[in-house]
Structure 1
Amino acid sequence: MVSASPLQKLYNTCNEVFDSCSAGIIPSPDNIQKLKAVLDDFKPADVGLSPEMPHFRASVAGETPVIRYIHIHECEKFSIGIFCLPPSGAIPLHNHPGMTVFSKLLFGTLHIKSYDWVVDVAPSTSAVVSPSKSKQPVVQQPEARLAKIKVNSNFTAPCDTSILYPTDGGNMHCFTAVTACAVLDVLGPPYSDSDGRHCQFYFDFPFSNISVDELSLPEGGKEGFAWLQERKKPEDLIVVGELYGDPTAVET
C-alpha cells in the first residue's frame, strides 16, 4: 500500500481536526497537537519549494516586494496555502476573526510581531497620539484599542509551528521577511466576507505615544503593550495569488 504524501496527510488531518469546528470554536488539545505534529515535520521539498525559485528573488531597490500566495485547498472548514516572501517582504498587521491558525516556516528567517486584545480595557475616547513622538497619522475617533504584545522575535527554520487562537496566541500579527521565506498556513475556518470573517488591518502605536487619563495597566508594564487602530488595506501591499502546481495534490 502506497503511503499518503505529506500534503495529502496534511489535508486528511485538517479534515479530521476541523470537522466539528466553526468560527470561534477551537479544536481539542489532542487535535491541536495532532495537526501541529504533521506541520512540524513538513519540509520545503514536500511542496516543491526552494529559496532559489523566482518567487523569492529580492526586489529591485525602491520597489515594493511582491508576495505570492500559493492556494492549495479551501473549503468552509479550513484552508491550506503558502506565502512566499522575498527578502524584506512584509504582511502588515492583520487579524484572524474567530479563527485558529497554524503557521509553519518552511525556510528562511522571519520576524513575527503579534498582539492579543486586552479585553478588560475599553477603547479609549480620549487617546491622542503625540505628533512629536510618532510619524504615523494622528489617531481619530473611534479611538485605538489596547493590546498586549504576544511575540516580537525572529524565527529561523527549522522551528516549531506557531499557533494562534481566536482570542489568544497573537490573533493580530505581522510578518517581515529577514531573508527569503516560505510560510505554510492553515486557517480554520478560512476568511469569509459573507460570514463576517474579513481581514482587518491595523496601525500599531507604542503605548507611550498615547496618553489616557486614569488608565491602570495590566501586569507587564507599558513596554508589553501597544495601541491598535483599524486602517484600510495598505496600498503598497502586493499579494499575487496562484494555484498550487499540481491540482491533484490532495484527494478531497
Structure 2
Amino acid sequence: MRIETGLVDQKGQDIYEFPGEKTNKPKKNRRRNKRSTPSVVQKLFDTCKEVFATGEAGVVPSPGDVERLRSVLDSMKPKDVGLTEGMPCFRTIDGEGTPPITYLHVYECDRFSIGIFCLPQSGVIPLHNHPGMTVFSKLLFGSMHIKSYDWVTNASNNTKENLNPLHYQPTGIRLAKMKNNSVFTPRCNTSILYPTAGGNMHCFTAVTPCAVLDVLGPPYSDPQGRHCTYYSDFPCASFSGDAGLGTEDGREGYAWLEEREKPEDFVVLGAMYRGPKIVEK
C-alpha cells in the first residue's frame, strides 16, 4: 500500500481485528453474481473521476459537479466502506496520552484522493491547510468539532469600527476569519472547502469516536508545491492594538494564524482499507 498525504506518517497496522482475533473472511470459491450492482465506493470513485477531470490546483469544480459529488457522499454509511464503531482504531487506551489517528488509504491519483480518518474520542487533527484544493469531508458516524478559517485578504470594512485589521498584523502572523466553530454529526451535509473559501484551514476534534471520509482534489504533493502546513491560532485580542477586532456582532470573528511545525503528539497510522474494491475502468 502506498500512502501519500500531508497528514500520514506511518503504515502497516490492521484496524479490523485485535491480535489473536480471527475474522470471518469470505471463501474464495464462492460463486459471484455475474451482474452485481456497483458499490457506493465505486460510484464515488466514478464521480470523482468526472468531477476532477482536470486535476489542476486552484480549479474549483462547477456548482453542478460539486452538488453531484456531495450527493454521493451524503448518502454514504459506515457499512459502505467496511467500518463498524467497535473496531480497535476507535478505542482509547487509558493513560496513553493523545490517541493516534488511523488513516485508511482508499485511492489516490494525480487528480484526487479518497481516504478515511478514524479518530478515537479526543483524537485531534490539528489546524492545517489545503493549498489549491477542493475538499469534501463526510462524517460517517460519531460527532466531531470542526473549527475552520479563511484568510482575510481585504479587511478594510470587516469590523464595526471600520479599522483595518491588517494594520496590526504582527510579523510572521496572518489574519484569518472564522468560518466554522461547531459540532458536526452524520446528519449534517458533507462539509466542502475551497482553495480560498469555505474554511480552507481546519481542525478536527473527536467529541466521540468517529470516522470521516475525505475527498481531496487535487491531493497534497510536495513536488508540485502543495505542502501541508500547520498553524496555531490566537484570538485577535492576543496582540496589543487589536483588542477591538476580536468580535463581530457579539461573536468571535477573527484570529491570527501562525505557522508551526507539525505537533509532536500528532500521530497518524496508515492501515489497510478492506472495504469494497475500486475497479479502474
Would you call these one fold, judging by a TM-score over 0.5? Answer: yes
1:46 correspondence with 2:80:
yes
In the other structure, the counterpart of 2:202 is 173
Equivalent position to 1:111, from 130, 135, 145 = 145
> Once the 2 structures are TM-superposed, how far is the Cα of residue 217 of structure 1 from its aligned partner?
8.6
Question: 1:205, 1:214 → 2: CA distance?
Answer: 12
> Once the 2 structures are TM-superposed, how far is the Cα of residue 216 of structure 1 from its aligned partner?
7.5
Question: 2:56, 2:73 → 1: CA distance?
Answer: 21
Deviations 1:61-103 (A, max 9, x none): 2522010000010000000000000000000000000000000
Q: Which amino acid aligns with 2:148?
A: S
In the other structure, the counterpart of 2:226 is 197
In the other structure, the counterpart of 1:17 is 51
> Once the 2 structures are TM-superposed, how far is the Cα of residue 20 of structure 1 from its aligned partner?
2.2
Question: 1:96, 1:102 → 2: CA distance?
Answer: 11
Normalized against structure 1, the TM-score is what? Answer: 0.88
Deviates more, 1:148-157 or 1:78-87: 148-157
Normalized against structure 2, the TM-score is what? Answer: 0.79
Question: 1:207, 1:216 → 2: CA distance?
Answer: 6
> Once the 2 structures are TM-superposed, how far is the Cα of residue 207 of structure 1 from its aligned partner?
1.1
In the other structure, the counterpart of 1:186 is 215
In the other structure, the counterpart of 2:263 is 234
Equivalent position to 1:58, from 76, 92, 97 = 92
Question: 2:245, 2:191 → 1: CA distance?
Answer: 31
Question: 1:37, 1:183 → 2: CA distance?
Answer: 16
Question: 1:123, 1:84 → 2: CA distance?
Answer: 38
Question: 1:14, 1:199 → 2: CA distance?
Answer: 22
Aligned 8 A contact 2:103 2:117 in 1:
yes
> Whose Rg is larger?
2
In the other structure, the counterpart of 1:33 is 67
> Once the 2 structures are TM-superposed, how far is the Cα of residue 156 of structure 1 from its aligned partner?
1.5
Identity %: 59
SS in 2 for 1:30: helix
Question: 1:157, 1:37 → 2: CA distance?
Answer: 14
Question: 2:129, 2:43 → 1: CA distance?
Answer: 28
- Give the unaligned 5+ runs of structure 1: 129-140
Question: 2:250, 2:241 → 1: CA distance?
Answer: 15
1:2 correspondence with 2:36:
yes
* Matched residue count: 238
> Once the 2 structures are TM-superposed, how far is the Cα of residue 213 of structure 1 from its aligned partner?
6.8
Question: 1:201, 1:156 → 2: CA distance?
Answer: 25
